[in-house]
Amino acid sequence: MEQTIKGYFPNRRTVRKFSDRKLDDATIDEIISLATKAPTTGNMQLYTVIVNRNPEMLARLRPMHFNQPASVGAKALLTVCADFNRFSRWCRLSDADPGYDNFLSFTSAMLDATILAQQIVTIAEMKGLGTCYLGTVTYNAAGISEILNLPELVVPVACIAIGWSDDDGEENERLPIEAVRSYEQYPDFSDDEIIQLFKAKDDYAPNAKFVAENGKKTLAQVFTDVRYPRGMNEEFSARFIELLKDKKFL
């Protein structure tokens, strides 16, 4: 199952359907161990991964992810948390005064946790496993924190549904590189250029079908009115800020 740059990176796909094949501790631990070699802020390793496979725990977690299909079929959910708790405890036990109950420390820990999460995804996929991020982790972060018994200075920031693949995943169309990469300064696109950069996405057949199914006029309206509407974003923003305060990061 070893893969090279050219074999894996241009072709990777997110998988939302998993086979019944068991995912054992040794495989999970090997992937996480390799992933911890990823870069981390000042080598502080500001993260903790909670691995859930217990059926009762999964039954409590899935509703936090709105029972989305990937959360239901996965053999395990890996909740990756920004964690300054373990490091702060070590400081106090080492005659040092930790000053990490602030927002900069949260961003450093979120960076570390996300880097680790992506390294887990890459290694797992290169080994032939399927993965899918559950973006819902920040929506119901407070509920997830309670289920996982997260203490102060620990907040979930990424969740990976994982298992052996049962399908090839979906093709993932992407914007042309000119849309997302700029030399020297932020690009000064005209309205026409923005329209052109998104044109292939607007015209992509599965997206057009998506627009029709949702009774919308444009693909953008599917995002703003159905998938990520303002009211939902504002509601979950308020809840996430509340959690950061509860956990002493704000």
Least spacing, CB of residue 34 vs its own copies, in Å: 4
Q: Which of 203, 179, 177, 176 is nearest to 189 (CA)?
A: 179
User: Interface with its own copies includes 36 (CB under 8 A)?
Assistant: yes
Cβ proximity to its own copies: between 73 and 160 the closer is 160
Residues 146 to 205 in contact with its own copies, rule: CB under 8 A: 148-151, 154, 157-158, 172-175, 177, 179-187, 189, 191, 194-195, 197-198, 202
Alpha-carbon distance values, 130 to 56, 66, 106, 238 (Å): 23, 20, 29, 33
Least spacing, CB of residue 164 vs its own copies, in Å: 16
| Residue 96 identity | A
- Taking each helix axis from N to C terminus, what angle separates 25-35 and 103-126, rounded to the nearest 10 degrees? 120
User: Interface with its own copies includes 246 (CB under 8 A)?
Assistant: no
C-alpha–C-alpha distance, residues 26 and 188, integer Å = 50
Stretch that binds its own copies, among 16-24, 28-36, 66-74 (CB under 8 A): 28-36
Give the count of residues interacting with its own copies (CB under 8 A): 120
Site string for its own copies, 220-239 (x = CB under 8 A): xx-xxx-xxxxx-xx-xx--
Residues 75 to 134 in contact with its own copies, rule: CB under 8 A: 81, 86-87, 89-91, 93-100, 102-105, 107-108, 110-111, 114-115, 117-119, 121-123, 126-127, 131-133
Q: Which of 74, 106, 73 is nearest to 87 (CA)?
A: 106
Contact by Cβ (8 Å): 158, 77: no
